[in-house]
Amino acid sequence: MPQQSDKNLSNIFEELNKLSFRRQQLTDRRNVLALLVQFKRNNGQNEQQYSRETGELKEIDEELTVLSERKIELEKLQEGGSNLIETTTSSSVIFVDNPPPFPAPQVILDVKQLPRHSSQTQCPFCHQYVTTEVMTKSGSVTYLVCFISVVFGCVAGCCLIPFFLDSCKDVIHKCPKCRSNINTCKKF
C-alpha cells in the first residue's frame, strides 16, 4: 500500500512539472503576443488587423485558467497523498513553479539599439518578427588595434590577434528569413 501511494505521488509530481512547463510556455507566448498587439495598436492599425493575435491571447488565457484549476486539484491530491506518508517520514514536499530559465525575450523594435548579440526584432525589410543572426567583420577598430601593436613593436604575428578577437570587430545583424543586413553595430 505505501508503494502504491508513492507511485501516485510521483505521477502527480510529474504532471505538476509538465503543467508548470506548459504554463511557462504559454506565458512566454502571451508576452510576445501582447507586445505585438501593443505595437500594432501604436502604429494605428485597427482591431481587425490584429484580431488573430487577440484571438490567440484569449485562447491562451482560457488554457491558463484550465491549467490553474488542474494545478489546484493536483496539489490537493498531493496533500492527501503526502499526509499518508507523513505518518512514517514526517516530511512534506512543497511544489513551486519553476522559475523561467532566462528573462522573457525582449523585442527590440529600433534596429539601431540592437546589442552585440543575437536578439529579437522586427526586420525592416520583410517586416517579420525574427531572432537575428550575428556575424563579425573586421572594422576600423580591428585595423587600429593591429596598427598600434605594430607601432609598439609587436612582430611575429601579434598584430594579427585583433582579427581573431570578436570584441575588436563590428557585429552584423542579419535577418534569417530574407537574409538582409538589419544593422551593423560598429565598434565605434
C-beta closer to Zn ion: residue 25 or 128: 128
Q: 95, 53, 104, 87: which is closest to 71 by C-alpha?
A: 95
Rule CB under 5 A: say whether 114 interacts with Zn ion.
Answer: no
Show contacts with Zn ion in window 116-145 (CB under 5 A). Answer: 123, 125-126
Sign of CA dihedral 155, 157, 163, 166: negative
Q: 137, 142, 143, 130: which is closest to 175 by C-alpha?
A: 130
C-beta closer to Zn ion: residue 57 or 111: 111
For 85, the grid coordinates are 506518508
Which of these segments, 43-51, 78-86, 103-111, 176-184, binds Zn ion (CB under 5 A)?
176-184
Site string for Zn ion, 46-85 (x = CB under 5 A): ----------------------------------------
Rule CB under 5 A: say whether 9 interacts with Zn ion.
Answer: no
Q: Where are the beta strands (DSSP E) in 13-169?
A: 107-108, 120-122, 129-131, 133-137
Residue of 7, 58, 76, 177 that binds Zn ion (CB under 5 A): 177
Whether the Cβ atoms of residue 16 and residue 71 lie closer than 8 Å to each other: yes
Question: Which residues contribute to the site for Zn ion (CB under 5 A)?
Answer: 123, 125-126, 175, 177-178
